[in-house]
Structure 1
Amino acid sequence: MTLGSGGSSVVVPRNFRLLEELERGEKGIGDGTVSYGMDDGDDIYMRSWTGTIIGPHNTVHEGRIYQLKLFCDKDYPEKPPSVRFHSRINMTCVNHETGVVEPKKFGILANWQREYTMEDILTQLKKEMAAPQNRKLVQPPEGTYF
């Protein structure tokens, strides 16, 4: 996020940006089917996050609750966080062995922009679950993990 008028702009420091994201994640997002927060409130670098997605209606994911891990390295938000499903899921952009969301196969990570947020990633993953190539894929048993 940049602020300013005219030719000048101010880049919001990493920790301020992450504090904004934390506040938004704690308030709840939209219809409540996507949420996120920090793994460890004592982590002053705010690196490790947990996300939750409730599968979209009219898909094989409906009613399932998916847990994810997001890791914001020191170069976030200039570079995207790493994203990994903890819950087993069968999707075209997710590595079947590790649960890692593969950046080259997931548009928002492949074309990352500083303005994007963890909320954007989770919302796009939910949309991807409902995409034609993913909405009917056979899924692992519910409650299994990587």
Structure 2
Amino acid sequence: MTELQSALLLRRQLAELNKNPVEGFSAGLIDDNDLSRWEVLIIGPPDTLYEGGVFKAHLTFPKAYPLRPPKMKFITEIWHPKVDKNGDVCISVLHEPGEDKYGYEKPEERWLPIHTVETLMIGVISMLADPNGDSPANVDAA
């Protein structure tokens, strides 16, 4: 996939999210001239510790997107087992595709090119709703 194809895909995904918003988050570009850096606002899911909160995060897409996953970092401070102290999100779907050298994750749990920003964000909202303390990025939060 070329850098141009990647940019076109990101533009299409952003347009789709603006046309058909998904409950629980919104997304936009940090800089209108850079499709590789997005800002997302996540609404804390109901009936969770995060309910009522609005959490800002940045997505940074590699030139090889969607063959490679984006990176996600919370800008708003958040206390969660899968978010390290720098705000970096560590969940399976954000890990490079293929076999896990430690044997912890199945390949289908990791990044796949069929994922979109929407599927990723639904996964992050699910992570907030159901914190999993296994293999934490923030041991204290676990």
Trace 1:1-146 onto structure 2 (pairs within 5 A): 13-31=5-23, 33-43=24-34, 46-96=35-85, 98-102=86-90, 106-110=91-95, 111-133=110-132
Cα offsets for 1:61-101 (capped at 9, x unmatched): 001000000001211111001100001111111102x1001
Letter in 2 for 1:95: D
Cα offsets for 1:14-72 (capped at 9, x unmatched): 122111111022225233x21111111122xx111001110001111001000000001
Deviation above 2 Å: which 4+ runs of structure 1?
27-31
Aligned residues: 118
Where 2:130 maps in the other structure, the secondary structure is coil
Percentage identity across paired residues of the two chains: 27
Whichever of the two has the greater Rg, that structure is 1
Kept after mapping to 2: 8 A contact 1:68/1:87? yes
Consecutive unaligned residues in structure 1, runs of 5 or more = 1-11, 140-146
Q: TM-score, normalised by structure 2?
A: 0.75
Consecutive unaligned residues in structure 2, runs of 5 or more = 96-109, 134-140
Letter in 2 for 1:109: L
Kept after mapping to 2: 8 A contact 1:36/1:119? no
Where 1:108 maps in the other structure, the secondary structure is helix
Q: TM-score, normalised by structure 1?
A: 0.73
Distance across 1 between alignment mates of 2:33 and 2:132: 40
